[in-house]
Amino acid sequence: MRWLAVLLLALAAPAFANDSLPPAPYAYRQLDDPKLEAKAEALMETLRCLTCQSQSIADSDASMAGDMRDEIRRRIAAGEQPEHIRQWLIARYGDYISYEPRVTSATWPLFVIPLALIALGVVVVLRRLARRV
Amino acid sequence: MKGVRWSLWVLVAFAALVGLFALQLSRPKHDQVESTMIGQPVPQFALGAAVPELPGLSSADLANGQPHLLNIFASWCIPCAAEAPQLAALKGQGAPIVAVAIRDRTNDLEDFFQRYGNPFSRVGKDDTSRIQFLIGSSGVPETFVIDGKGIIRHQHIGEIRPEDIPNLMNRLKEAGA
C-alpha cells in the first residue's frame, strides 16, 4: 500500500512549483459595477499571460496572471482607460504582451499582403472577362 | 505552354514557402519575454521587509549612488535555489545584492535562507507581483543590474549559472561599481 501512496505522490508532483499565498483580492473577484467589469474583461482577454504564453490572463490560473487581473481591475475601478493600461504594459514588456494586432514596421506586410492578393485577383478576373467579350 | 509557366510559378511560390518554414523552424525557440525598461529608471515603489532581520526595499534604496543587482526570487521557485551558490559568489566578488521575494511567506523564506544562504542586504516583500509589472519582469528568478541613479541597465532572465557570473560583474562595473 505504501508504494502506491509514494507512486501517487510522485505523479501528483506539479511540473511547476507554485506559491502558497492566496490569490490577490481581484484575481478571481469581479468588479461590482458590471460596466467596469466588462471593460476590464475585454482588456484581460487581449493580454498575454507571461507564464502560460498562449493563454490570455483572463484564461490563465498562473498566479502572475491573477496578480495582473488584480492590477487591471483596480486600475479600471479607479477610472483608468483600458488602452492606457495596455500601453503601460507594452512599455514594459513590448508588443508581445498584447494580442491586439498593431500595424508596425514588422507587421505591415500582414495587412498589405491580403489587400495586394485581392487586388491581384480582381485584375485576373477583369482580364479574363475582358477577353471573353 | 502557358499552363507550364503558371505551374512553374506556383512551384516557385511553394518552394519559397517551404524555405521560409524551414528557416523559421530551424531557429531556436525563443520564449523569453524581455523587459523593455532597460535604460529607464525603476518606477517608484516601496516594499516592506520580507524577513524581520533585513530591511525592505524601495526605489530610493536603488538610487543611492551605488549600483546594485536586484534579484527577483521566491522560496517556492526551484531555479532560485539552484542559483544560490552563484549569488553567493557574486556577493563574494563585491556585488551589492538586494532582492524582492514574490508571493512568499516569512517562515518559508527563513527556511530557504537557512538552507541556501542569504546574500541579500535587503529583501522586499511583494505579495501581488507588482514589482515585476513595474520593471518588466516576467517570472522568477530574474536579476536586474541597476545603476547608482536607479536606472535599469541589464536584465538576466532565469537562474544565474556559473558561466553568467563574469558577464553580470562586467555589467555591474559598467553601471559604475
Q: How far apart are CA B43 and CA B135, in angstroms?
A: 7
Residue A123, CB-side half-sphere exposure with 13 Å CA sphere: 6
Length of chain B: 177
Span B144-171, pLDDT tens digits:
999 999 999 999 999 999 999 999 999 9
Percent of chain B with pLDDT over 70: 98
Helix, strand or coil, per DSSP, at residue B34: coil
**Partner-chain contact A18 B128, CB within 8 Å:** no
Which of A75, A92, A131 to probe the B interface (max B CBs under 10 A)?
A92
**pLDDT beyond 60 at A16:** no
CATH number of the A21-100 domain: 1.10.8.640
Contact with chain B for residue A20, Cβ under 8 A: yes
What backbone phi and psi angles, to 5 degrees, belong to B102? Answer: -95, 125
Alpha helices in B27-83 (DSSP H): 59-62, 78-82
d(CA A78, nearest CA chain B) in Å: 17
Contact with chain B for residue A17, Cβ under 8 A: yes
- Out of B31, B77, B105, whose CB is closest to A20? B105
Residue B153, pLDDT score: 97
Residue A15, pLDDT score: 43
Residue A13, pLDDT score: 44
**Residue A38 grid coordinates:** 466588462
Which are the contacts of B61, defined by CB distance < 8 A and separation ≥ 6? Answer: B55, B98, B122
Contact with chain B for residue A70, Cβ under 8 A: yes
Region for residue B136 given its phi and psi (left: phi exceeds 0; alpha: psi -120 to 50; beta: otherwise): left
Q: How far apart are CA B82 and CA B125, in angstroms?
A: 21
**Residue B20 grid coordinates:** 521560409
DSSP string computed for chain A: -HHHHHHHHHHHS-SS----SPPPTTTS---SSHHHHHHHHHHHTTBB-SSSTTSBTTT---HHHHHHHHHHHHHHHTT--HHHHHHHHHHHH-GGGB-S----TTTHHHHHHHHHHHHHHHHHHHHHHHHH-
Kindly report which listed range (A6-15, B41-50, B101-110) carries the lowest average pLDDT score: A6-15
Q: Which of the four pLDDT bands, split at 50, 70 and 90, describes residue B14?
A: very high
Between the CA of residue A5 and those of A9, A62, B128, B166, what are the distances in Å?
6, 28, 35, 46
**pLDDT beyond 70 at B138:** yes
Residue B176, pLDDT score: 86
ipTM: 0.86
d(CA A124, nearest CA chain B) in Å: 13
Span B32-89, pLDDT tens digits:
899 999 999 999 999 999 999 999 999 999 999 999 999 999 999 999 999 999 999 9
**Partner-chain contact B78 A17, CB within 8 Å:** yes
What are the residue ranges spanned by the domains of chain A?
21-100, 104-133
Span A63-77, pLDDT tens digits:
999 999 999 999 999
**Residue B44 grid coordinates:** 517608484
